[in-house]
Amino acid sequence: MASRRSRALRDALLAGLLVLLLTGCESQLVLRSEDLDRGLVIVLPGIDGRMPYNEAACRSLSEDGLSATVELRDWTAPLGPLYNQAAVSRNREAARFVAARIEAYQRAHPGGSVFLIGHSGGTAIAVWAAEALPLGNEVEGIILLGSSLSPGYDLSRALARSRGGIVSFHSALDGGLLGVGTVLLGTMDGLHSESAGKVGFRPPPGEAASAEYAKLHQIPWQAAMLKDGHGGGHFDYMGAAFLSARVGPLLKNPAWDPRLLASVR
């Protein structure tokens, strides 16, 4: 009897460890929780997970005159960046947890706005979380910083779940991680190609897709961004000056009209 209990306990511990390895231990940094009624900004980091540089990025957003709670939500598993890049099915499941968080927030705070910000691999989680939202649940906008999705990934469903649409920043100079890196190791959606964060997204054919893609606003890196501390590199998106100049205005003005979009270009 004791032996059977020992085996059962061992099996339960091993099963729990396996779940932890596959799903990760969700880690969050929550800033300005007192402003939760006003809005929620969910920041989804890259495949390296919660790190000091993306914590600092969240703090800079929070301290830049934003009246909303900023939440850094680490979706990664503890098996390392290469696993987090390649585990498409597991990552889609992680995105469904983010979608559930959005639904719960919107039930509790029906007047609050929700924005999703993804960096690198986190852009896929942002897009997939929006896709997982049921009809009737929308976010205000989605901001993609150096996306490691493939250029041909169909954003139509995510665009349909976002009132303002998607603003995607990309850089032709980001050829290490989002060029050679994803050609060799694969994009977040499992293709061996350059990433949209390097070359931009390509709209799919068809009139229905074209209607949704009117809400996709792509902003390539340009030399004018040097003054904001962005030299075209993969991690430059997370600098305080760039976030203040290019991302902050999108979060403070939910109506993404042409004048606002022109200003952040």
Query: What confidence tens digit (pLDDT) does each residue in 207-248 have?
Result: 556 778 999 999 999 999 999 999 999 999 999 999 999 999
pLDDT at site 105: 96
pLDDT at site 265: 86
Query: What confidence tens digit (pLDDT) does each residue in 185-195 have?
Result: 999 999 999 99
Q: Residue 17 above 50 pLDDT? A: no
Strand order in the sheet with 113-119: 27-31, 69-74, 39-44, 113-119, 141-145, 166-170, 216-220
How big is the chain, counted in residues? 265
Domain boundaries, the chain: 25-264
- Cα 117 to Cα 5, 63, 229: the distances in Å are 47, 16, 19
pLDDT at site 3: 60
Q: Domain 25-264: state its class.
A: alpha beta
Rounded to the nearest 10°, the torsion over CA 80, 130, 148, 36 is: -70
Query: What confidence tens digit (pLDDT) does each residue in 135-194 have?
Result: 889 999 999 999 999 999 999 999 999 999 999 999 999 999 999 999 999 999 999 999
Which position has the token pair 């109506």? 255
Task: Determine if the pTM surpasses 0.85.
Answer: yes
Query: What confidence tens digit (pLDDT) does each residue in 27-79 have?
Result: 689 998 888 999 999 999 999 999 999 999 999 999 988 989 999 999 999 99
- Tell me how far the alpha carbon of residue 230 is from its chain's centroid: 19
Q: Which of 188, 192, 181, 99 is nearest to 147 (CA)?
A: 188
pLDDT grade for 130, boundaries at 50, 70 and 90: very high
Encoded tokens for 211: 């209607």
Measured N-to-C along each axis, helices 88-108 and 2-23 cross at an angle, to the nearest 10 degrees, of 80
